[in-house]
């Protein structure tokens, strides 16, 4: 199958790939849980796992920044350059923001799944 260049018709009309079957999201994903994707129990479990992953990502970024800060304070000749340290701090900031957002969403889904869950004091 060849196509003329430049295209003479919209790309969506050409469709050089086979049509994909409709997604299974409406029917639910049995592998994810009994209720399927979108069910409060399933979403709470997904967001809790993602929150743990984000916490690990933030921990790694914070340790890297802590190590770099220690090396810069000591004036080591192998310490990172300023641009590299700024990139690491930015990555730590983004990881922290992701952690806060995913923890908030996990908390909201857990509350929706089980209304008897009390607020943390």
pLDDT digits (tens, 9 = 90+) for 1-55: 555 555 555 555 555 544 544 444 445 444 455 556 678 888 888 899 999 999 9
If one compares 92 and 33, the residue with the highest pLDDT of the two is: 92
Instruction: State the pTM of this model.
Output: 0.65
Number of H helices, E strands in the chain: 3, 0
pLDDT digits (tens, 9 = 90+) for 64-86: 999 999 999 998 888 889 899 99
Residue 26: what pLDDT? 46
Give the dihedral sign, CA 16/17/21/23: negative
Neighbours of 88 (CB within 10 A): 19
Residue 102: what pLDDT? 95
pLDDT digits (tens, 9 = 90+) for 93-105: 999 999 999 999 9
């Amino acid at each position: 199958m060849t196509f003329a260049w430049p295209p003479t018709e919209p790309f969506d009309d050409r469709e050089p790939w086979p049509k994909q079957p409709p997604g299974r999201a409406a029917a639910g994903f049995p592998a994810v849980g009994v209720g399927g994707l979108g069910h409060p129990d399933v979403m709470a479990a997904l967001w809790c796992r993602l929150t743990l992953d984000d916490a690990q990502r933030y921990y790694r970024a914070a340790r890297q920044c802590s190590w770099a800060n220690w090396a810069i304070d000591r004036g080591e000749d192998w310490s990172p350059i300023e641009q590299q340290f700024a990139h690491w701090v930015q990555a730590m900031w983004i990881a922290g923001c992701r952690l806060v957002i995913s923890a908030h969403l996990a908390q909201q889904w857990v509350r929706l799944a089980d209304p008897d869950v009390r607020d943390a004091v």
